[in-house]
């Protein structure tokens, strides 16, 4: 079973039992994250997330099975309260599923304790958030290196240089977040997410607080990371223009995957959204 | 208003844990304050009531002419040294018209000895007085047995009886100025209703025993009962016409005695109150920080309220009602806790050896009102200030503004603070240079200077410590150091509480060690004798005067020198005068003569302790109870014999005995013959052990023990500091917890990008450690400076040099930091429970 990556996303909403077999997912070479196109960078299988209990409980994820393919840029869209953020949080190990399983690479997150999960986050996942992205007491460079430093390592100088020059942060490395513009802060956050070359980067509305031009710039950087370095990126957004930068767009409605659009444009995304607008 | 109250109540319940901490701070402060007030009332009230009751029947007291104030001694609770009365004064008083009864009261030293060991320790003095048969005039009442009649019969006070386990009929011994006497206990007495007279242990003797035991020629005072129907003022006037007397009316005498009995407690009360003030200050800091954050968090909300038309007062009101609610609940709890906790304080005060702590606690309404006002008032004030600041913000700005406190430190504030610090230092230096207490007051400006400079200090500390922290703990260190600077005002107010606490510990440690040194240095440098016999209590001689002769008679002993100390008045000031044998003592204790010849004491001269040789030849007038000694200064010595009441003058022993009457020895110095030192020491020890009221130490032991009196006091101070320190640590815990709740977004981020819970806890602990260290270090530094100036200026001859106990200070600093880290344990635990998703929810 090695279909085209685009159809893989489509198919994976109804993944067969073989795909859940870890042997199939095992990539063998742990070191490199530039995986082949038939790999999933992250995956949810039968994922259910319930908040509260009894009659007042709310189902945020309703039996979702989906794979985010490696080396691709996936956008997740949906109306407010659709469960798109919950989906990302559970896939990224920030939140735990009520039932079902979440994988990053071939690692089943449900088998990890808090410590292992934390280590996984800092070594194999990169994060870009909408706000509160940087530790205010650290310089830009320290923020960029933070996940590696927490693991007791330093990112390789070559990769650091590469990321920093790509994001044009060379002259800002010793500034603190308060001394940076919103766009610069977000670039630092992107650099932090990319520099450890994680298996997957999760971006939660990374352009939500930025003006259009700065937002486009950030999306451009994310796009080049995918194109040049084969980085896997999953981005939650509500902006069709942002989604248009992705390879595929996953639409989430009422806690279920409603639709997947390949090679989206802003218009096609908007059309789908209009169809959802109830 | 009731709506406001309901919403305030809801808000308190909503953030329960924060307010539990705030409430705890208020509660502890109030409890500390009320316990202090109740305790001091109880100590004072108890003693005062007892004295008033015991002296109720005394209408007037005839005493000798006052020579000067006293430093204290047996029977001198009246607080003055007086000329002795004439031997026939009692008869003369009795003959005065209108006197219904007159009883001579002989007061001297008498120590109860049971089974060879003396009874009673602590600060109370051992007093022997004659039993007054007239029940109107006697302050003591028989509780059991009968009054003493024959010489050799005694009555003892009830607390002595219970301490010694003695009952009427038991055989005991009594040590007095004339030596050891066998006695039979015929009864047990109370002082009015109390077990004991304040600060005294009393042995009551029959009149027959007075000449032989107390070695007094005339009564100390005559207590007078004025006949019914006589004009008291007139009778007192007639009494005053008797030669060589001073007459005090009953009520005046009661007041004098009350003052004297409670004066040792006054300094305790001052200390207790000082600690209570620190506790309240720390409490206020905590409340202020908490409400600042609460209000800052609600700025948007209140901005919205203001935008839609709420008045400033309405926005303010909610917070104030909330503060009132917390303040009131915590104050009530604090009052209850404080009154219940008086026992703890009693135990602490007991560490000083003050034993006037029997009887029930006296809870006056004044204490309650003061503590309650402070509790509720402090809460209200510390909530009102930030609330006002918030309400004064224009609505739109408040809506836009984030909750964070500005990180900018006002340069004006820092400049004013630095100016004050300069004034304080200049004041301190001038005070030392001129030995002027007035200038020292300027040095106190260091406290407001610290308050003003606090934020700048914290910011600077964060900057300077960052590289160190980074080297020690990597990126976690950088984060911890940086966090310090995120809200400099809050961090500095927490630091201030810690600073004050450490500064107090340090000051007391310096004063105590300087005191120990001052008391001990003469002994360390001057002592030559092989062995020293010391008294049972440091402040009063209790050595049987016959002991020195008996030791001297031992074949193993080459020479013996005794020291007697009496109180006299020189230039109106009480002065300890030592009586020595100038031919023997200098070889056993080197007084370090600066000028003159100690041998000339024999011919009636005086030696003074000092360093000015030009005093030689001046005439000194020392007024004693029995006579006035007027003598030329024949020697100036640099050293005295050590201890708190070390003599400032020395005379020949026989001259002193003649002027004062029979004296017990304060110290006996012993030199052993060459040969078997251990056997010789054993022989002396056997003799000393058989003599109650005397203790043997070797030269090394005596040097080590000198100054140990200070230790009891130090225990008490330490105990108090644990309490104050505990409250300061609540402050650290509170600030850390507040900082964490404010930074939950950042913490969520750290967790998301891969900081484990343990790493976060380490960051929090590191931050607390840094803050504690900065605060404790500054507190220590300030206290060293201030303590040094204080001792230099006010120490005089009592505290000739400043001794900084570096090791102890280093330990204090270490303990402060460790305690700060411990205080951060709970907030650190909370940190690990901040959900990672917190940051995402903050973004919404």
The winner for highest mean pLDDT among A27-41, B113-127, B399-413, B679-693 is B679-693
Instruction: Read off the CATH number of the domain in which A229 is found.
Output: 3.40.50.300
Would the CB atoms of A138 and B751 count as touching at under 8 Å?
Answer: no
One domain, residues B255 and B107:
yes
One domain, residues B799 and B733:
yes
Positive or negative: CA dihedral B432, B433, B436, B442: negative
One domain, residues B2 and B85:
no
Give me the domain span that covers residue A206. 5-29+38-276
Contact status, residue B634 vs residue B595, Cβ threshold 8 Å? no
* Residue B825: how many other CB atoms lie within 10 Å: 15
One domain, residues B732 and B598:
no
The reported pLDDT for the residue numbered B155 is: 94
Select the residue from B471, B840, B842 to test the A interface by mutation, using most A Cβ atoms within 10 A: B840
Query: pLDDT-based confidence at B75, cuts 50/70/90?
Result: very low
Last residue of a domain, one of B628, B660, B692: B692
Give A74's strand partners.
Answer: A234, A248
Average pLDDT (B570-592) is 85
Query: pLDDT-based confidence at B616, cuts 50/70/90?
Result: confident
Q: What angle do CA B18, B19, B25 make, to 5 degrees?
A: 105
Query: pLDDT-based confidence at B205, cuts 50/70/90?
Result: very high
Query: A186: which chain B residues are within 8 Å (Cβ-Cβ)?
Result: none
Assess if residue B700 is contained within a domain: no
Assess if residue B544 is contained within a domain: yes
Average pLDDT (B695-714) is 76
Contact status, residue B236 vs residue B180, Cβ threshold 8 Å? no
Query: pLDDT-based confidence at A21, cuts 50/70/90?
Result: very low
Select from B492, B490, B482 the least CA-distant residue to B462: B482
Give me the domain span that covers residue B507. 412-518+707-844
The reported pLDDT for the residue numbered A234 is: 94
Assess if residue B28 is contained within a domain: yes
Task: Return all residues near B767 (Cβ < 8 A) that are at least 6 apart.
Answer: B480, B481, B483, B484, B736, B739, B824
Quote the distance between the C-alpha of residue A4 and its chain's center.
Answer: 21
Higher pLDDT, B739 or B548: B548
Q: What angle do CA B544, B550, B553 make, to 5 degrees?
A: 160
DSSP string, B693-738: TEEEEEHHHHHHHTTTHHHHHHHHHHHHHHHHHHHHHHHHHHHHHH
The reported pLDDT for the residue numbered B360 is: 63
Last residue of a domain, one of B403, B424, B443: B403
Higher pLDDT, B830 or B172: B172
- C-alpha distances in Å from residue B475, one per residue of B214, B289, B753, B759: 78, 28, 13, 10
Please name the member of A132, A138, A205 whose beta carbon is closest to the beta carbon of B839.
A132
The reported pLDDT for the residue numbered A25 is: 37
Query: B842: which chain A residues are within 8 Å (Cβ-Cβ)?
Result: 131-132
Select from B317, B448, B319, B325 the least CA-distant residue to B375: B325
* Residue B584: how many other CB atoms lie within 10 Å: 17
Buried-exposed string B756-769: b where 16+ CB fall within 10 A, e elsewhere: bbebbbbbbbbbbb
The pairing of strands B221-226 and B99-105 is antiparallel
Count structural domains, chain A: 1
Q: Whole-angstrom Cα distance, residue B396 to residue B809?
A: 51
Higher pLDDT, B797 or B216: B216
Percent with pLDDT over 90 in chain B: 6
Query: A136: which chain B residues are within 8 Å (Cβ-Cβ)?
Result: 482, 486, 746
The winner for highest mean pLDDT among B269-278, B294-303, B385-394, B456-465 is B456-465
Is the pLDDT at A32 greater than 50, yes or no?
no
One domain, residues B230 and B105:
yes
User: DSSP secondary-structure letter at B834?
Assistant: S
Assess if residue B701 is contained within a domain: no
Assess if residue B214 is contained within a domain: yes
Average pLDDT (B627-647) is 83
Please name the member of A119, A132, A150 whose beta carbon is closest to the beta carbon of B475.
A150
Q: Whole-angstrom Cα distance, residue A192 to residue B749?
A: 12
Last residue of a domain, one of B403, B433, B453: B403
Query: pLDDT-based confidence at B110, cuts 50/70/90?
Result: confident
Query: pLDDT-based confidence at A3, cuts 50/70/90?
Result: very low
Would the CB atoms of B840 and A127 count as touching at under 8 Å?
Answer: no
Q: What is the pLDDT of residues B411-434, one digit of tens each?
A: 888 888 889 888 888 888 888 887
One domain, residues B375 and B428:
no
Lowest average pLDDT, out of B575-579, B818-822, B830-834, goes to: B830-834
Query: A122: which chain B residues are within 8 Å (Cβ-Cβ)?
Result: 753-755
Phi, psi of A81 (to 5 degrees): 80, 10
One domain, residues B688 and B712:
no
Contact with chain B for residue A127, Cβ under 8 A:
yes
One domain, residues B64 and B87:
yes
Is the pLDDT at B201 greater than 90, yes or no?
no
Average pLDDT (B709-728) is 67
Query: B746: which chain A residues are within 8 Å (Cβ-Cβ)?
Result: 132, 135-136
Percent with pLDDT over 70 in chain B: 84
Would the CB atoms of A135 and B485 count as touching at under 8 Å?
Answer: no
Helix or strand holding residue B526 (H, E): helix B488-526
Q: What is the pLDDT of residues B168-182, one digit of tens each?
A: 999 998 888 787 889
Contact with chain A for residue B838, Cβ under 8 A:
no
Contact status, residue B575 vs residue B622, Cβ threshold 8 Å? yes
Is the pLDDT at A10 greater than 50, yes or no?
no
One domain, residues B675 and B544:
yes
Q: What is the pLDDT of residues B453-507, one digit of tens each?
A: 888 888 888 888 888 887 877 777 888 888 777 778 778 877 887 887 788 778 8
Q: Whole-angstrom Cα distance, residue B320 to residue B291?
A: 10
Contact with chain B for residue A130, Cβ under 8 A:
yes
Is the pLDDT at B32 greater than 90, yes or no?
no
Task: Return all residues near A250 (Cβ < 8 A) that are at least 6 apart.
Answer: A9, A66, A74, A75, A76, A77, A257, A259, A260
Query: A115: which chain B residues are within 8 Å (Cβ-Cβ)?
Result: 756-758
Phi, psi of A236 (to 5 degrees): -90, 130
Q: Whole-angstrom Cα distance, residue A242 to residue B641?
A: 92
The reported pLDDT for the residue numbered B8 is: 64
Q: Whole-angstrom Cα distance, residue A209 to residue B456?
A: 33
Assess if residue B140 is contained within a domain: yes
Contact status, residue B663 vs residue B656, Cβ threshold 8 Å? yes
Would the CB atoms of B482 and A205 count as touching at under 8 Å?
Answer: no
How close, in Å, is residue B732 to chain A by CA atoms? Answer: 21
Contact with chain A for residue B750, Cβ under 8 A:
yes
Is the pLDDT at A18 greater than 50, yes or no?
no
Assess if residue B171 is contained within a domain: yes
Higher pLDDT, A67 or B317: A67
Q: What is the pLDDT of residues A203-243, one digit of tens each?
A: 988 888 888 888 898 899 999 999 988 999 999 998 888 99
Lowest average pLDDT, out of A148-152, A229-233, B269-273, B443-447, goes to: B269-273
The reported pLDDT for the residue numbered B132 is: 92
Query: A140: which chain B residues are within 8 Å (Cβ-Cβ)?
Result: none
Q: What is the pLDDT of residues B351-391, one digit of tens each?
A: 555 544 555 677 788 888 988 998 888 888 888 887 777 77
Buried-exposed string B647-664: b where 16+ CB fall within 10 A, e elsewhere: bbbbbbbebbbebbbbbb
Query: A130: which chain B residues are within 8 Å (Cβ-Cβ)?
Result: 843
Is the pLDDT at B187 greater than 90, yes or no?
yes
One domain, residues B750 and B837:
yes
Higher pLDDT, B561 or B504: B561
Average pLDDT (B192-220) is 85
The winner for highest mean pLDDT among A129-133, B222-226, B698-702, B727-731 is B222-226
Higher pLDDT, A166 or B260: A166
Task: Return all residues near B467 (Cβ < 8 A) that are at least 6 apart.
Answer: none
Average pLDDT (A88-98) is 87
Structure tokens belonging to residue A96: 């735990």
One domain, residues B158 and B203:
yes
The reported pLDDT for the residue numbered B45 is: 76
Percent with pLDDT over 90 in chain A: 17
Select from B645, B653, B649, B646 the least CA-distant residue to B634: B649
Structure tokens belonging to residue A251: 């639409």
Assess if residue B527 is contained within a domain: no
Whole-number average pLDDT of chain B: 80
Would the CB atoms of B753 and A89 count as touching at under 8 Å?
Answer: no
Contact with chain A for residue B408, Cβ under 8 A:
no
One domain, residues B669 and B732:
no
* Residue A173: how many other CB atoms lie within 10 Å: 16
Count structural domains, chain B: 4
The reported pLDDT for the residue numbered B738 is: 75
Is the pLDDT at B184 greater than 50, yes or no?
yes
The reported pLDDT for the residue numbered A270 is: 86
């Amino acid at each position: 079973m090695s279909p085209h990556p685009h159809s893989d996303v489509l198919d994976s909403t109804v993944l067969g039992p073989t795909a859940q077999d870890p042997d199939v997912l095992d990539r063998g070479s742990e070191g490199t994250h530039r995986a082949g196109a038939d790999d999933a960078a992250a995956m949810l299988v039968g994922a259910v997330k319930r908040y509260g209990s009894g009659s007042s409980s709310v189902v945020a994820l309703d039996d979702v099975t989906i794979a985010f393919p490696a080396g691709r840029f996936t956008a997740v869209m949906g109306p407010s309260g659709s469960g798109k953020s919950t989906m990302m949080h559970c896939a990224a190990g920030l939140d735990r599923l009520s039932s079902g399983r979440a994988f990053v690479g071939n690692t089943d997150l449900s088998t990890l304790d808090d410590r292992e999960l934390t280590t996984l986050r800092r070594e194999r996942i990169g994060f870009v958030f909408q706000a509160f992205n940087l530790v205010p007491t650290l310089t830009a460079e320290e923020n960029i290196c933070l996940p590696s430093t927490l693991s007791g390592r330093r990112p390789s100088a070559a990769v650091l240089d590469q990321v920093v020059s790509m994001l044009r942060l060379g002259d800002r490395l010793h500034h603190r977040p308060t001394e940076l513009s919103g766009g610069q802060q977000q670039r630092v956050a992107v650099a932090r997410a990319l520099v450890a070359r994680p298996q997957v980067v999760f971006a939660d509305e990374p352009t939500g607080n930025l003006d259009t031009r700065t937002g486009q710039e950030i999306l451009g950087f994310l796009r080049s990371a995918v194109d040049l370095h084969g980085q896997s990126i999953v981005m939650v957004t509500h902006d069709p223009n942002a989604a248009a930068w992705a390879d595929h767009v996953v639409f989430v409605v009422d806690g279920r995957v409603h639709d997947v659009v390949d090679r989206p444009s802003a218009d096609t995304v908007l059309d789908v959204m209009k169809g959802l607008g109830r | 208003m009731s709506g406001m109250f309901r919403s305030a109540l809801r808000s308190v319940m909503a953030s329960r844990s924060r307010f539990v901490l705030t409430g705890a701070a208020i509660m502890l402060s109030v409890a500390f304050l009320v316990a202090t007030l109740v305790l001091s009332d109880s100590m004072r009230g108890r003693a005062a009531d007892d004295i008033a009751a015991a002296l109720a029947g005394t209408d007037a007291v005839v005493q000798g002419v006052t020579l000067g104030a006293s430093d204290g001694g047996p029977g001198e609770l009246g607080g003055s040294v007086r000329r002795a009365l004439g031997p026939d004064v009692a008869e003369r008083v009795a003959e005065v018209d209108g006197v219904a009864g007159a009883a001579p009261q002989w007061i001297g030293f008498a120590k109860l000895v049971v089974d060879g060991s003396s009874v009673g320790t602590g600060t109370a003095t051992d007093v022997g007085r004659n039993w007054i048969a007239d029940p109107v005039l006697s302050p003591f009442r028989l509780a059991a047995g009968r009054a003493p009649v024959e010489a050799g019969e005694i009555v003892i006070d009830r607390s002595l009886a219970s301490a010694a386990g003695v009952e009427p009929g038991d055989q005991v011994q009594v040590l007095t100025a004339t030596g050891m006497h066998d006695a039979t206990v015929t009864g047990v007495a109370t002082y009015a209703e109390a077990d004991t007279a304040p600060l005294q242990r009393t042995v009551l003797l029959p009149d027959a025993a007075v000449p032989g035991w107390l070695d007094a020629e005339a009564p100390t005072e005559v207590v007078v009962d004025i006949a019914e129907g006589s004009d008291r003022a007139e009778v007192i006037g007639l009494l005053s016409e008797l030669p060589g007397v001073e007459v005090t009316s009953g009520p005046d005498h009661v007041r004098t005695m009350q003052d004297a009995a409670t004066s040792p407690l006054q300094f305790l009360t001052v200390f207790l109150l000082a600690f209570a003030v620190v506790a309240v200050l720390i409490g206020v800091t905590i409340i202020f920080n908490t409400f600042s954050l609460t209000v800052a968090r609600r700025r948007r909300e209140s901005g919205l309220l203001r935008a839609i038309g709420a008045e400033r007062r309405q926005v303010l009101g909610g917070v104030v009602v909330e503060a009132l609610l917390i303040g009131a609940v915590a104050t009530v709890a604090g009052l209850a806790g404080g009154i219940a906790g008086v026992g703890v304080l009693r135990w602490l005060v007991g560490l000083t050896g003050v034993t006037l702590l029997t009887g029930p606690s006296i809870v006056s309404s004044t204490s309650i009102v003061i503590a309650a006002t402070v509790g509720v008032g402090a809460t209200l004030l510390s909530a009102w200030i930030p609330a006002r600041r918030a309400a004064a913000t224009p609505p739109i700005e408040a809506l836009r503004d984030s909750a964070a406190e500005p990180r900018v430190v006002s340069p004006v504030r820092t400049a004013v603070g630095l100016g004050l610090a300069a004034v304080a230092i200049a004041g301190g230096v001038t005070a030392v240079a001129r030995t002027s207490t007035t200038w020292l007051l300027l040095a106190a400006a260091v406290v407001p200077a610290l308050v003003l400079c606090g934020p700048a200090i914290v910011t600077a500390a964060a900057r300077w410590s960052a590289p160190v922290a980074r080297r020690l703990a990597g990126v976690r260190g950088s984060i911890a150091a940086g966090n310090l600077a995120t809200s400099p005002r809050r961090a500095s107010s927490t630091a201030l509480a810690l600073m004050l606490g450490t500064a107090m510990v340090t000051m007391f440690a310096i004063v105590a060690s300087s005191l120990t040194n001052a008391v001990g240095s003469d002994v360390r440098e001057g002592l030559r004798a092989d062995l020293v016999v010391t008294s049972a209590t440091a402040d009063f001689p209790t050595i049987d005067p016959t002991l020195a002769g008996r030791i001297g008679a031992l074949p193993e002993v080459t020479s013996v020198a005794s020291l007697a100390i009496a109180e006299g008045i020189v230039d109106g000031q009480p002065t300890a005068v030592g009586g020595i044998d100038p031919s023997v003592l200098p070889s056993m204790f080197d007084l370090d003569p600066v000028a003159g010849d100690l041998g000339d004491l024999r011919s009636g001269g005086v030696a003074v302790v000092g360093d000015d040789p030009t005093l030689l030849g001046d005439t000194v007038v020392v007024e004693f109870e029995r006579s006035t000694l007027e003598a030329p200064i024949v020697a100036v010595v640099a050293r005295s014999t050590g201890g708190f009441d070390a003599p400032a003058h020395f005379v020949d022993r026989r001259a002193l005995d003649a002027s004062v009457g029979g004296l017990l020895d304060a110290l006996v110095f012993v030199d052993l013959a060459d040969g078997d030192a251990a056997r010789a020491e054993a022989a002396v020890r056997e003799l000393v052990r058989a003599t109650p009221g005397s203790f043997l130490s070797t030269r090394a032991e005596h040097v080590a023990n000198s100054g140990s009196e200070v230790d009891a006091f130090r225990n008490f101070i330490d105990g108090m500091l644990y309490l104050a320190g505990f409250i300061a640590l609540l402050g650290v815990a509170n600030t850390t917890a507040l900082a964490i709740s404010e930074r939950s977004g950042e913490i969520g981020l750290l967790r998301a990008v891969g900081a484990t819970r343990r790493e976060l806890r380490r960051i929090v602990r590191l931050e607390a450690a840094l803050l504690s260290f900065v605060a404790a270090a500054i507190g220590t530094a300030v206290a060293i400076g201030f303590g040094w100036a204080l001792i230099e200026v006010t120490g005089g001859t009592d505290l000739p040099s400043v001794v900084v106990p570096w090791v102890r200070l280093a330990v204090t600093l270490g303990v402060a930091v460790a305690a700060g880290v411990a205080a951060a344990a709970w907030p650190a635990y909370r940190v690990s429970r901040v959900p990672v998703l917190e940051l995402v929810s903050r973004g919404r």
